[in-house]
Amino acid sequence: VPLPPSSGSANQFHNIGTVSNKGIEVALNTLYVNTPNFTWRTRLTYAKNTNTVEKLGTPRDTLITGYLNAVVEGHPVGVFYGNVYVRNADGTVYHADTTLNAGLPTERTYFNMPRRARDTLLVEGTERVAFANRIIGDPNPDLVMSLLNTFDVPYGIQATVLLDGRFGNDVA
């Protein structure tokens, strides 16, 4: 919620809805070698977490934040929300020459530009054409895994190798 500048803060945050979270995390630790001069340990972790915005206070509480992320009821927190483009029969984006400000001194033609899809909206009884925007992806991974190897050698020296991965993000 925006605040007056005299308050000393630009915004005040409110709880505007309900989010459900479900998940599991599992770790497996192993000790492969354990001698006075060398130790090798491994830790494998697996995590799966999902969240859903269950309810927002009002439809106006849908948040479109920053670049592409949105908070929309019935979807995960932070889904990608953005432009939809007209597609050819093979699924590729349709391109065409585009002229902006036709007939004005600021007229400019852009060649071979992607053509954005349009929606017809009913606003106070009047049809209006607007560029189409939709939920186009989910940045939240389906699962997260990591593999950590730790090696201990003499003189208190320890080396660690970490492989970390996030899998299943839906990127637009």
In tens, the pLDDT along 26-38 reads 999 999 999 999 9
Sequence length of the chain is: 172
Band (150; pLDDT cuts 50, 70, 90): very high
For residue 166, pLDDT beyond 90 = yes
Residue 71 — φ and ψ, nearest 5°? -115, 110
pLDDT bucket at 12, cuts 50 / 70 / 90: confident
- Tell me: pLDDT of 1 over 70: no
Give the model's pLDDT for residue 161.
98
Asked if 85 contacts 115 with a C-beta cutoff of 8 angstroms, the reply is yes
Please give the average per-residue pLDDT across 146-152, as a whole number: 98
Q: Encode pLDDT of 82-135 as tens digits.
A: 878 787 888 888 877 777 777 788 777 777 777 777 777 777 787 777 777 788
42-95: pLDDT as tens digits: 999 999 999 999 998 876 666 666 567 888 889 998 888 887 878 788 888 887
Q: How far is CA 104 from the centre of its chain?
A: 39
* Torsion (CA) 106, 111, 114, 115 in degrees, nearest 10: 60
| Amino acid letter, residue 160 | T
Q: Are 57 and 18 in contact (CB under 8 A)?
A: no
